[in-house]
Structure 1
């Protein structure tokens, strides 16, 4: 389908869970691409840990990020990639790269700021950023923004009122 060809006016995609966060990619070589994040509580999932001769078990949430794109042949959004995320995503954002000159990166916030490198078949963690130097615990990041003029800069905000 050409860029100016006739297209549907409304597109639908049904994620396997309730969508909490989403962001459009602006890369010219990755048209019509979305990142979706959610938190789904899976009460059947159990982790068992052996800890000093004691068996501990607890239930955990099922956390994922899904990358979807428009299949222009079928005019349908399809899942291109899914990866696990260790904490619910409060926000996710593609690198603001309108020329396609930077690596294909996706940032997510939650317990920390994570930057992921997105490939055709896999997504891998590029870096985990933690500014908390004084405690074993971190205050969740509530949001962040990626600087469009200088994509090497990201600003975060936290529930403890720090930026």
Structure 2
């Protein structure tokens, strides 16, 4: 997917959450570790909710911000962000800790991208949109950390 506008960026982020959700869901069925499988199931539902939240940003964002072009994104060395493998069963043989680590890395990459674009946003509406998306990702990452910590304690 070529990202040329904020609308593309948000749609791309939504698609990433959807892909991750499906991958986690499919892997949960195959992971033999009960604790890891439960984590995959939880994370899959969480990513599905994030996909829906990002879709709401698409539906409610200022049209001016959505149509703003992302020149910096196109001209720099930003690489596509995504799960480590194209396979929907990538997490099937991973441990609880490895799954958690990789999912947090995924979210950190998304937050880093949003953070880097905030300072480069040319219009206030675009900056505000990025700040809101970053706040959503940060809040959900903290929520994930809390839930995963509780699951580890079991």
Quickly name the TM-score band, shorter chain normalised. Answer: under 0.3
- Give 1 or 2: higher helix fraction: 2
TM-score normalized by the length of structure 1: 0.22
In terms of Rg, which structure is larger?
1
